[in-house]
Amino acid sequence: MTKAEFMTSLSNQLSKIPQADRDDILYDYEEHFGIGLEHGKTEEEIARDLGDPKAIGKQFTADTIVMQAAQTKSAESITRAVFAFAGLGFFNLIFILGPFIALVALLFALFSTAIAILVAGIAAVLIAFAAPMYPDLINLGGINSSVIIFTGIGLSSLGALLFLGVTYLSKWFFKGTLGYLKMNMRLIKK
């Protein structure tokens, strides 16, 4: 592979990172070729020693996306970082992406449960208040309205607490995921 082919392939792989960072990386690899040529190596030998430009580009892209996720700390940026990191290899695909998707699905289920409990509690309170106004439409089955109201308030409180708990759990999960990605990136670079 010639210098031009290597640099074109690397540049194409770096298309998703900011222009300034891309220019710095390409400049560094230009220097590698310059130093190698000064030491009497051919362009093909230098390119072979540097490695696969596609793998290099993927690693720089994943590193950049992880750093952006660390700065923005949004669920979207962290998800993008996990997918970019999973693209680095089969190991990462199985051991990062699989558990990440499973845990996100679990968090979604917990959020859905919290919202369902909250809505059920509110509905119980509303039905208890509406029962005397619409006796033909709403039958409480002989249960005292005050029992239904207090049960509804309890359910609503439980749903709200569960929602808050899952919100904090989500923050810890995404923070832990980001920390794991950074640690794994450091291991890959060594």
Parent domain of 174: 73-189
Same domain? 98 vs 41: no
Q: Dump pLDDT digits (tens) for 12-23.
A: 888 888 888 888
Residue 177 makes CB contacts below 8 A (sequence gap 6+) with: 78, 82, 100
CB 187 within 8 A of CB 63: no
184 occurs within a structural domain: yes
Residue in the structure block whose two tokens are 């992880």? 66
Single pTM value for the model = 0.62
- Whether 101 and 185 map to the same domain: the answer is yes
- Residue 16 shares a structural domain with residue 86: no
Domain identity same for 44 and 78:
no
pLDDT along the chain (190 residues), means of 10: 88 87 88 88 88 85 80 78 71 75 94 97 95 88 91 97 96 87 69
For residues 93 and 170, membership in a common domain is answered with yes
Q: What is the pLDDT of residue 89?
A: 66
Alpha helices in the chain (DSSP H): 3-13, 19-38, 43-50, 53-72, 75-86, 90-92, 98-130, 145-189
Domain total of the chain: 2
Is residue 60 one of the residues assigned to a domain?
Answer: no
